[in-house]
Amino acid sequence: MSQDNPCLACGACCAYFRVSFYWGECRSAGGIVPDDRVIQISPHHAAMIGTDSKPARCVALLGEVGSGVRCSMYEQRSSPCREFAASWENGEHNPRCDAARAAHGLPPLTPPLQPHVSPDRVA
């Protein structure tokens, strides 16, 4: 993760959403997510400990939401974590990112500034 990634100063999603996924992602089933970091929530699904009730906070989240955070198991994180993108990370708005940030009193992320190109300039 790049040091200029806004997630490193946020972590709101890790302290807002339930992170649930197919049990097959757990190590005991051949996956990469450590078994001691999850709780079984149905016969075929697990959730990260700490996200299975409100207020939520993933057991793997280190640091203070909104000022400096990191995931203690980043390389072994589950598919919902891998697939969740900060707003504008891929050039697209993510309203779920905004909702998590708002729940922690953080403003929504804004799109990056686009360089101004003069209409007279030919590319």
d(CA 73, CA 71): 5
Please say whether the beta carbons of 86 and 5 come within 8 A: yes
pLDDT digits (tens, 9 = 90+) for 10-68: 999 999 999 999 999 999 999 999 999 999 999 999 999 999 999 999 999 999 999 99
Domain ranges across the chain: 6-103
- Please tell me the distance from the alpha carbon of residue 105 to that of residue 12, in angstroms, as a whole number: 10
Q: In terms of C-beta density within 10 A (0-12 exposed, 13-18 middle, 19 or more buried), how is residue 97 classed? A: buried
Q: CA triplet 77, 23, 34: central angle to 5 degrees?
A: 40
**What token pair was written down for 79?**
């598919």
Tokens of 65: 């939401």
What's the pLDDT at 25? Answer: 98
Q: How far apart are CA 19 and CA 27, in angstroms?
A: 17
Helix then strand then coil, % of the chain, to nearest 5? 25, 20, 55
Q: Which tens digits make up the pLDDT trace of 69-123?
A: 999 999 999 999 999 999 999 899 999 999 999 999 999 999 987 666 556 655 5
Confidence at residue 115, expressed as pLDDT on a 0 to 100 scale: 64
